Amino acid sequence: MKKYRIGVVGLWHLGEIFSAGLAELGYTVIGFDDASIITNLNQGKPPLAEPGLSELVAKHLASGRLSYSHDFSKLESCDVIWLAIDTPVNDRDEVDVSSIWNFFKNHSKKFTPGALVAISSQLPIGTCASLKRFFNENYPEKGLRLAYVPENLQLGQALKSFFEPGRFVIGADDQASSDQTQDVLSPLKTNNLVMSIASAELSKHALNSFLATSLSFIYDIADVAEQYGADVVDVAKALRSDSRIGPEAYLDASIGFSGGTLARDLTILVEKAKEAEIKLPVIQAVVTKNQERRSRLIEFLEKKLGALARKNIAVMGLTYKPGTPTLRRALSIEVIMILKGKGAIIHAYDPLAEKNELHALTGLDKSNNPYECAEACQAVLFLTGCSEFKDLDFVKLRSKMATPWILFDARNFLIDQEKKIQSAGFVYQGVGRASFDKT
């Protein structure tokens, strides 16, 4: 393993993890981004909190292996340039790669000859081919090499994802690029699946689309379960027990997936299919199923509460995933805005969500605790599985609320406490576990 000097470009979630992680592997790492992000990181404050990340950043700022800069001229000293710019997704789940192209147009001239450009940013298939043409047309003398390594970091467990990968997909169209990328990642001692760059790009779209398809499938099964008195949780257990499916299968019934990650790759495949004039009926059906999913919750609430105007509803579990503070493209924001559109009065709580971000996105002020959040509410909705909610005093929670004391468990997170919740006086409703018409 060569002691590479690596420049990590883009320092939001992906880049903050890669910069600290690569430093921990023994490399000299410079992280590049805007001055405001750099200032906070140099003070040991990552832009997005992850367990153990602040400590790891502080460790390697002190060791000298990690530094942060907004001076992109320092790219000249890097053997490897690792692109980790988080590509934004709009409200239609369309990815915007303009920031990536702006980076290459403004800074490629600074790259050292023979540098490896490794990309982990989320890119539509075909982007790397366009980038190779850009390098060859504008900087042929530099002999830049390109690899695509799709990321697979889980929010709330990102450092664990980085240091304990199940495998790496490495896209490279020449042996030297493949060998160098594998050498950089060799300390992690995992399997490398080496393939063409186009195959690596498509593998990321395919992976997320497969996961989304699994979710949409179980949503269909949940809808049938609700009408015939079956329990989708038991059905999912039966499916996972089959070796052809497996225990980690994405089979959690809910009111839909959010965040833009899965939807982004579905949208890319749909758009690329249109360009190629081919049909993707399965992928399109997955998109449609998820778009319709929120209506199940609204139908249930209207059945129980009547018109939602002026009804007090508590929404708990606001972040995109438990363990992370981000609200960007979180399911809770979509649900809150739908309910507000119906005239409901919304109370909101999450242990990690930032008050200012919540207010900016929804106009709501975060409650100080779950019991304050539930005050005078006719229904409480648990949208994500924050571990704190497992320890709630449900008798106390109900005492704060108003009739008919609805508790909607959008991810069946509280299923093991169902009897306890019901004995506290709640009307408990999960997803795919009993007919909404019969509860």
Taking the C-alpha atoms of residue 181 and residue 184, their distance in angstroms, rounded to an integer, is 5
Spatial separation of the C-alpha atoms in residues 2 and 27, rounded to whole Å = 9
Residue 134, both tokens: 């850009």
Spatial separation of the C-alpha atoms in residues 22 and 58, rounded to whole Å:
14
DSSP-derived letter for residue 415 is G
DSSP state of 191: E
CB 124 within 8 A of CB 274: no
What is the three-class DSSP state of 218? Answer: helix
CA dihedral 167, 171, 173, 176 (to 10 degrees): -50
Instruction: Please write the tens of the pLDDT for every residue from 284-294.
Output: 999 999 989 99
- The pLDDT assigned to 170 comes to 98
**Euclidean distance between CA atoms 246 and 268, whole angstroms:** 27
CATH class belonging to 208-429: alpha beta
Residue 409 and residue 429 in contact, taking contact as beta carbons nearer than 8 Å? yes
- What does residue 173 show for φ and ψ, rounded to 5 degrees? -105, 10
pLDDT digits (tens, 9 = 90+) for 298-319: 999 999 999 999 999 999 999 9
Of 337, 434, 315, which is closest to residue 386 (Cα–Cα)? 315
Asked if the peptide bond before residue 325 counts as cis, ω within 30 degrees of 0, the response is no
DSSP 337-367: HHHHHTT-EEEEE-SSS-HHHHHHHHSPPBP
Decide: residue 386, CB within 10 A, 0-12 exposed, 13-18 middle, 19+ buried: buried
CATH superfamily for 5-195 is: NAD(P)-binding Rossmann-like Domain (3.40.50.720)
The Cβ of residue 271 has, within 10 Å, a number of other Cβ atoms equal to 13
User: 339-386, pLDDT tens digit by residue?
Assistant: 999 999 999 999 999 999 999 999 999 999 999 999 999 999 999 988
Mean pLDDT over 234-251 rounds to 96
Q: Tens digits of per-residue pLDDT, 401-426?
A: 999 999 999 999 999 999 999 999 99
Determine contact, residues 355/385, Cβ cutoff 8 Å.
no
Secondary structure letter of residue 10 according to DSSP? -
Q: Cβ distance 103 to 138 under 8 Å? A: no
155 DSSP assignment: T
Task: Provide mean pLDDT across the span 152-171.
Answer: 93
Let me know if 106 is exposed, middle or buried by CB neighbors in 10 A (0-12, 13-18, 19+).
Answer: exposed
Tokens of 341: 């559109």
Q: What is the pLDDT of residue 435?
A: 52
Phi, psi of 307 (to 5 degrees): -55, 135
Local confidence band at 439 (pLDDT 50, 70, 90 cut-offs): very low
Query: pTM of the full predicted structure?
Result: 0.88
Query: Domain-by-domain residue ranges, the chain?
Result: 5-195, 208-429
Q: Give yes or no on whether 5-195 and 208-429 have one common fold.
A: yes
Q: Categorise residue 229: left if φ over 0, alpha if ψ from -120 to 50, beta otherwise.
A: left
User: Would you give the end-to-end CA distance of the chain in angstroms?
Assistant: 62
Going by pLDDT thresholds of 50, 70 and 90, the confidence category of residue 254 is very high
CA atoms within 13 A on the CB side of 327: 24
